[in-house]
Amino acid sequence: MNFNEIHTRINLIEYNAIVSIGNKCPTAMILRELSLYRESFPFDYVPTTPALILKYFKDPVEFYPGKGQIVTQDGLWFGHFDLHLNYDLTMEAFNRRFCRLFNLLQKKKKIIFVYTSEADIYNEMGNRYNDNYGDLLKIRDYIIERYQYTDFLILAVHTNKVYDMIDSNIVNYTINVDKSYMSNNKETNCPETWNPYRSVLKTLFSKIFLNPL
């Protein structure tokens, strides 16, 4: 696995916050390992899709799982969270995370949203064949229209898909994954796959981001 050339570096000192928007846990996890991620947000450790991210930006009510509901009707997996004994505390934590996110947007803070695409490797939630880039553009357009500002950036790391390096408010990178790693069985418990992917992603992040917050 490898990534395309580093064409845009990002100085986090220039931003008020960095926010993970999926599509799996490694986005927030690796940003934390690099000491770049300081606050928690709703999508940190919940596998999702850009289309669902947009849905919850508009109204998060269907994001929240019921007590003991590990998988929601939208297909979100909450296996990293206690939805049994500490259900109420967990829901309070998610509510705080949404409030934190919406507060940043309402105050027009300078935000960098980070999207990566490990789920494409396994076709988890159909991500490989979704128009995820089109949905990222819809997220961008929604933020601009809803909050009336453009002082934010989406860093998108795609799997085997190449887009213009820079679009309006979006910077695109690609991780090239050999077909031997790709599967359609949606089996995500594959350390022989996610270990090399996450190693490459960590290296890519370390080269893109110039400074910690």
SS3 readout for 30-98: HHHHCCCCCCCCCCCCCCCCHHHHHHHHHCHHHHCCCCCCCECCCCCECCCCCCCCCHHHHHHHHHHHH
Contact predicate 72/62, CB 8 Å = yes
Beta-bridge partners for 167: 170
pTM of the model: 0.95
Burial class for 4, CB neighbours closer than 10 Å (0-12, 13-18, 19+): middle
Q: What is the pLDDT of residues 125-175, one digit of tens each?
A: 999 999 999 999 999 999 999 999 999 999 999 999 999 999 999 999 999
Contact predicate 103/44, CB 8 Å = no
The pLDDT assigned to 191 comes to 81
The pLDDT assigned to 76 comes to 96
Contact predicate 27/112, CB 8 Å = no
Query: Residues in the chain, how many?
Result: 213
Q: What is the pLDDT of residues 86-97, one digit of tens each?
A: 999 999 999 999
Bridging pattern class, strands 166-167 and 152-159: unpaired
- pLDDT by residue for the chain (213 residues), tens only, comes to 999 999 999 999 999 999 999 999 999 999 999 999 989 999 999 999 999 999 999 999 999 999 999 999 999 999 999 999 999 999 999 999 999 999 999 999 999 999 999 999 999 999 999 999 999 999 999 999 999 999 999 999 999 999 999 999 999 999 999 999 998 865 566 788 889 999 999 999 999 998 655
SS3 readout for 104-121: HHHCCCCEEEEEECCHHH
Three-state secondary-structure class, residue 189: coil
DSSP secondary structure of 159-179: ES----SEETTEEEEEEE--G
- Which architecture does CATH list for 2-61+109-211? 3-Layer(aba) Sandwich (3.40)
Tokens of 146: 């809803």
What's the one-letter identity of residue 43?
F
The pLDDT assigned to 190 comes to 79
Residue in this structure with the two tokens 């696995």, named with its chain if needed: 1
